[in-house]
């Protein structure tokens, strides 16, 4: 079995070597298609498929998450190179934080802490002046991770050139419930007149209230792994977002997959319900 797997791995390696020149040509052709078109200001990503990818490879799920983290670093760089202003990553859902095993959650929390440390030790957030925000039910995460999040947010709070949002233990329904709870409290205390309540007022109570009224709504939402659902992600904010579903698992998401998503976005007519 191991010999057969080794032969298959070698065959895949040689096929990839043969296809590399074709890939480069296609990449250049794709870039020519999108480079002159509108680039979304806000891209939100549901990076799905780490566990299934690892299972297909005969590897533990933790390996899938680690490779998924490496891919995330690449994708963030590609998006910044495209001059995308706001990037929102669905790191863990509210349901993940309830139902995943303690070992898997610990591994994911450790990866996120590593990501934050990597950002803090690199030049990218300072050179690009990136505001980092992590939102969700943060009462469900370890104290050490929460302290690191608060540290990064404090360091970057005055930056406004770019924004990277991380949705952690996040649920769209939970966000709306939390916003409604805060709003009701302010109505009771006379801070808000219920007769003058509007969408603009309600948005100030959402987790994305640090963004202005244009940037808090993603222009493009990308989900990998072929799943055709939103999984309780940014339910308020994506009312008029363009959705793009990609068949590849997140660890195999390539720059051309991102550019295909951008091309699809550019070819759509955005009417915002009109």
Known catalytic residues? 48, 96
Contact between 270 and 239 (Cβ < 8 Å): no
* Cα 237 from chain centre: 14
Quote the tokens at residue 185. Answer: 């409290």
Quote the tokens at residue 188. Answer: 């009771």
Query: Residue 47, class by beta-carbon neighbours within 10 Å (0-12 exposed, 13-18 middle, 19+ buried)?
Result: buried
Query: Residue 27, class by beta-carbon neighbours within 10 Å (0-12 exposed, 13-18 middle, 19+ buried)?
Result: middle
Enumerate residues 6+ apart whose C-beta is below 8 A from 72: 47, 89, 115
Question: Sign of the C-alpha dihedral, residues 179, 181, 182, 187?
Answer: positive
């Amino acid at each position: 079995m191991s010999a057969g797997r080794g032969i298959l791995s070698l065959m895949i390696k040689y096929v990839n070597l043969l296809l590399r020149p074709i890939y480069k040509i296609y990449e250049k052709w794709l870039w020519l298609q999108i480079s002159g078109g509108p680039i979304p200001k806000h891209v939100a990503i549901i990076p799905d498929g780490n566990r299934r990818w690892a299972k297909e490879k005969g590897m533990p799920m933790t390996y899938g998450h680690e490779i998924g983290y490496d891919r995330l670093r690449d994708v963030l760089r590609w998006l910044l190179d495209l001059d995308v202003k706001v990037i929102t990553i669905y790191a863990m859902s509210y349901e993940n934080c309830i139902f995943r095993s303690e070992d898997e959650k610990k591994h994911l929390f450790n990866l996120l802490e590593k990501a934050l440390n990597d950002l803090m030790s690199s030049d990218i957030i300072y050179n690009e002046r990136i505001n980092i925000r992590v939102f969700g039910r943060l009462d469900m995460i370890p104290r050490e991770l929460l302290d690191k999040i608060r540290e990064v947010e404090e360091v970057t709070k005055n930056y406004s050139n770019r924004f990277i949002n991380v949705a952690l233990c996040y649920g769209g329904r939970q966000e709306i419930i939390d916003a409604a709870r805060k709003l009701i409290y302010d109505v009771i205390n006379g801070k808000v007149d219920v007769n003058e309540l509007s969408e603009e007022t309600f948005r100030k109570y959402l987790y994305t209230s640090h963004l202005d009224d244009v940037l808090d709504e993603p222009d493009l939402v990308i989900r990998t792994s072929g799943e055709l659902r939103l999984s309780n992600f940014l339910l308020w904010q994506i009312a008029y977002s363009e959705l793009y579903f990609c068949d590849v698992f997140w660890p195999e998401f390539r720059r051309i997959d991102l550019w295909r998503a951008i091309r699809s976005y550019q070819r759509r007519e955005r009417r915002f319900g009109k």
